[in-house]
Every structure is written in structure tokens, then in C-alpha cells.
Amino acid sequence: MHITDIILKKRSGEALTKEEIDFFIKGYVDGSIPDYQASALLMAIWFNGMNPQETTDLTLSMVASGDTVDLSGIDGIKVDKHSTGGVADTTTLVAAPLVAACGGRVAKMSGRGLGHTGGTLDKLESIPGLSIEQPMEIFQKLVNTIGLSVIGQTGNLVPADKKLYALRDVTVTVDNMSLIAGSIMSKKIASGADAIVLDVKTGSGAFMKTAEDSVELAKSMVEIGKLAGRATVALVTDMNQPLGNAVGNALEVQEAIEILRGEHPGDLKDVAFALSAWMLRLAGLADDEAAAMKMLTNALESGAALDALSRMIEAQGGDPKICEDTSKLPRAGKLISVKAERDGWISEMDNTEIGISAMLLGAGRQTKADVIDPAVGLWMKKRIGEQVAVGDELAVFHVNEEKNLDEALKRFKAAVKISGEKPDKLPLIYHVVE
């Protein structure tokens, strides 16, 4: 078997066999296939696509390139969730405790990535003392006793994806449905969950800007999950404005805690509940949406969900008192109010630019070497469709280092559009792929 034959076959629009895909992945990981030949194959895939079986074979071959996690020491059905990423997307910190409080088992391993704000791990590390580095035996014990634990990825999970993603980034082949789906699902499958709920974002703050592309990606990932023997469901949800109010690591932890206290209605809570309901259904704990929602409401109102989060924080070395007093979280030194400069309705937001504004304050990373300031970010005060007058507060910036403040404010003000007409209400959940 020769890589040149495989490149020619895919360039001609033919489907690759499992053996050919395995040969490519193994050779690229061990270095026998060089970057320039891998680049040629990636470009051929970008132009000609892959069918569902090819996409699944690619995913499973990437899974087999490294370690896989054995969660057999955890009782019951292990259920995980994954978001394709967005701004103020704090659903894990709300959904995981809710599901655990209802008897679910959420064993979640997250990786670090670049973005507007830190990932779930960075949010958790803004909690004083909390460690996301836990031995596997402790991780499994916590899930068995508390119902949840969130830690950093351990071992050598999916090295093929790490290497391929870096190459895709520099060869402009990132935005291919099969390659995106394979990258996401390889990590989820390697992490050992029995059931997976996917939150596929769409809109100005998402990787996929249109609902049609997001639904296509969701279908591809659900197909991979099912062919790989995992119960999988995907929700396509809106990311045309920040999902929650808080954009920044400690601020997002604060908002999650306040939701679990029952203090915040709104889109973040609604999406977290929708994801949690499917997690309960795939775990066999609820027969339908109505039953799941009743269980989740009871977990919230009784305080059981907040207690589950508090217990996880304490078990992983953090200060559980933040669940009673969020002022114990890191706090920025300066608060700056951003106000409306004209009357009208909030008609549109460039969500990516809002995220970049928070990153410029220090809430996210532009490079892997960047250090996140857990205290900084911004808190939204208005949402699309709300009427404002001159001087009304649009957001509050939480600031420590001011070197990029002017640019952050400029980008934010340009990102929030105010018009003379009230806009149509955006859907929150566009589609569910079962």
C-alpha cells in the first residue's frame, strides 16, 4: 500500500477503505508519511469530502492512535456532553451538577484550547485551590460517590488528532465537515463515555455561522457516534449573542453558581436544562422530556444540584464556600460601565468580537503560552431584542491590566448594534438530531 495511491484515489473522488485510512493515520503519526503528503490528502478530502463510513473509519483510526480511557470502574451509564464552543458558554458547570443530582454519572475529561475565554478547565481553576489533575482511580471514585468529576485529559489521548489539527490549521483545511466531526468525536469516544450529548453552536460566535451547516455537522457527529456504538444526540443552539451574561472565567463560575441557586432565568439556564434532559434520557434515567425536566427542576429547587457542585469542588481541593459566597472568587480591580450611545433596540451582536474584547482584557488565550487572568472579563446587561435609551448600561467590564482596554472597548461598542426597529426573536434551539 502506498500513500500516493491513496492520495490519487481520494483526489479522484473515490471512497477510501478502512485499511487505507488506517495506513494513513498510522504512517502520519509514526512519521513515515511526511507533512507534504498528508497535506495533499487533506486537501483532496477537503475538495471531495468523505462519506459517513469513511468519516467513522477516520474517527476510530484516530482513537486507536493513542490511549483510550476505561471507565468500567464507574457504575451505570456514563454520559458526557460536548460543546463546539462559543461565548459565555458555561453549560457544563450547570448541566453536570444537575445530572449528577438526578443520579447520572458525568465523567468528563476536558482539554485546553485557544479561545475568547478559557475552557471549562480554566473556569474551574479560577476556584481557589481546585485541581483538575486527578489520578484515574480518584476520578472514578468521585464519579461513583458524587456523580461527577471534571479533570484534564490524561495520558496520550488521540495523538493523531493533535498532529492532524496542527497541519489542517496551516493548510487551510480546518473547515471540512468530516475532519471537524472526526476531530471532535475521536476525543469523545477515546474518553470512554457510553452516551454523548453534543451542543453544536450556530451563529456569529460559532465556528459554523449558518444553521444549515451546523445541522449538517450535527448529523455527521451523531452518525459517527452511533456507528461507534455510542448513544448520541446533538442539539443545534444559538450563538448569535453570548449564551450567558458572564464572559470570563471566575465570572462564568459565579453565574453558574447563581443559576444553580435558582437566581438566574435565561438562555444559559434553558440550554443547560435542554442538554441535561437529553443526558438523563440517554442514561436511562428519564423516559421522556417531561419526566427529565421534572427531575431537573426538583434537583435545582431542592439545592441538590448546587450541593453536587460544592462536593466536587471540595473533593478536588477547592473551596466549597464559593457556592455560598461567590465574592471568594478572584475579583478584578476596576469595573468600567459601557453605555448605549443612542436610543433604539439591540438588533444584532457580533459575538466573536465580544469574545475578543474579553480576550483582550486577559480572559482568554491568543497563543498557548498566554496566561489567563481568571478575574477579568465582562458582564452583559442587555440582550438582542431589548430596548435601550442613551446612557443605559450595555455591559460592565472587569479589568486589571489596561494596556488593551481601549481596543477592547472599541471592539465591543462596534459589536453591539442598536437600530430603530425591534428585531425578530432568534430561536434558542434550532434543531435536535437524534
Is residue 199 a part of any domain in this protein? yes
Question: In the structure grid, which three cell numbers stand for residue 133, read together?
Answer: 489533575
Kindly report the backbone phi and psi dihedral angles of residue 108, in degrees, each rounded to the nearest multiple of 5, phi listed first: -115, 125
Domains in the chain, number: 3
Domain edge (last residue) among 298, 323, 348: 323
Judge if 317 and 338 occupy the same domain.
Answer: no
CATH number for the domain spanning 217: value is: 3.40.1030.10
Judge if 250 and 367 occupy the same domain.
Answer: no
Is residue 83 a part of any domain in this protein? yes
| Residue 223 neighbours by CB distance under 10 Å | 18
Residue-level pLDDT at 130: 97
Residue-level pLDDT at 207: 79
**Angle, vertex CA 371, rays to CA 365 and CA 375, nearest 5:** 90
CATH number for the domain spanning 344: value is: 3.90.1170.30
Judge if 44 and 99 occupy the same domain.
Answer: no
Judge if 86 and 190 occupy the same domain.
Answer: yes
Is residue 54 a part of any domain in this protein? no
What does the DSSP assignment read for 148-163? EEEEE--S-B-HHHHH
Question: In the structure grid, which three cell numbers stand for residue 159, read together?
Answer: 495523538
Is residue 72 a part of any domain in this protein? no
Residue-level pLDDT at 206: 84
The conformation of residue 283, written as its DSSP 8-state character, comes to T
Judge if 191 and 336 occupy the same domain.
Answer: no
Is residue 65 a part of any domain in this protein? no
Judge if 136 and 12 occupy the same domain.
Answer: no
pLDDT digits (tens, 9 = 90+) for 186-243: 999 999 999 999 999 999 888 788 999 999 999 999 999 998 899 999 999 999 999 9
Judge if 297 and 227 occupy the same domain.
Answer: yes
Judge if 216 and 266 occupy the same domain.
Answer: yes
Whether 336 and 397 have beta carbons less than 8 Å apart is answered as yes
Question: Over the range 9-20, which residues count as b (16 or more CB within 10 Å of their CB) and which as e?
Answer: bbeeeeebeeeb
Is residue 39 a part of any domain in this protein? yes
Kindly report the backbone phi and psi dihedral angles of residue 404, in degrees, each rounded to the nearest multiple of 5, phi listed first: -110, 15
**In sequence order, what are the residues at sequence separation of 6 or more whose Cβ sits closer than 8 angstroms to the Cβ of residue 363?**
116, 117, 118, 247, 248, 249, 372, 373, 376, 377
Is residue 292 a part of any domain in this protein? yes
- How would you class 158 by CB atoms within 10 Å of its CB: exposed for 0-12, middle for 13-18, buried for 19 or more? buried
Residue-level pLDDT at 164: 93
Judge if 255 and 335 occupy the same domain.
Answer: no
The sign of the dihedral angle between the CA atoms of 83, 88, 91, 97 is positive
Domain edge (last residue) among 290, 323, 356: 323
Whether 315 and 235 have beta carbons less than 8 Å apart is answered as no
CA distances from 209 to 235, 355, 385, 419 (A): 15, 15, 20, 22
Judge if 304 and 347 occupy the same domain.
Answer: no
Is residue 430 a part of any domain in this protein? no
CATH number for the domain spanning 13: value is: 1.20.970.10
For residue 22, give its domain range: 3-49
Distance CA 196, CA 110 (A): 14
Residue-level pLDDT at 112: 66
Judge if 114 and 138 occupy the same domain.
Answer: yes
Residue-level pLDDT at 306: 98
Judge if 226 and 299 occupy the same domain.
Answer: yes
The residues annotated as belonging to the active site are 82, 161, 168, 183, 187
Residues of the chain where predicted confidence (pLDDT) is lower than 50? none
